Amino acid sequence: MYHFMVMYENIAVADVAVSDDHKEVQIKKLVEDSIIQPFGGTNLSLGRVYDFLKSRCYEDGRTDLDEILAQAHLDSNDPWKWNKITHGVMWEDKIWIRFEGEDLCWEDVRWRR
pLDDT tens-digit series, residues 9-49: 999 999 999 999 989 999 999 999 999 999 999 999 999 99
Residue 70: per-residue pLDDT:
97
Confidence of residue 113 (pLDDT cuts 50, 70, 90): confident
CA distance 113 to 110: 7
Contact status, residue 37 vs residue 31, Cβ threshold 8 Å: yes
Percent of the chain topping pLDDT 70: 100
Domain boundaries, the chain: 2-109
Q: Are strands 95-99 and 2-8 parallel, antiparallel or unpaired?
A: antiparallel
pLDDT tens-digit series, residues 86-105: 999 999 899 999 999 999 99
